Amino acid sequence: MECWLQPFSIEPEEPLEYLETVPLGPWVQKLPPAQRRPFVAEVWRRANTTTIDYVRLNITAHRA
């Protein structure tokens, strides 16, 4: 098995949609539907940037 971290930056055309589905997806899904977009919008407001930076964890597994 191999594991490595990969820094990743993106400037999405639709930042709220991107945040809601990719990096915040698991947390957003736990919220009631009426609270999802306000939550994502507040995260984006506090980020105060046009670039979303995060680190991906990549894992590959091989059969022995």
Please write the tens of the pLDDT for every residue from 18-58.
999 988 999 999 999 999 999 999 999 999 999 998 898 99
Does residue 1 have a pLDDT over 90? no
Q: What is the 3-state secondary structure of 6-55?
A: EEEEECCCCHHHHHHHCCCHHHHCCCCHHHHHHHHHHHHHHHCCCCEEEE
Distance separating alpha carbons of residues 5 and 45, to the nearest angstrom: 27
Q: pTM of this prediction?
A: 0.73
For residue 8, the model assigns a pLDDT of: 87
For residue 14, the model assigns a pLDDT of: 95
Reported in sequence order, the residue ranges of the chain that DSSP labels E, i.e. its strands, are 2-10, 52-60
Q: Which amino acid is at 49?
A: T
For residue 63, the model assigns a pLDDT of: 84
Distance separating alpha carbons of residues 41 and 18, to the nearest angstrom: 11
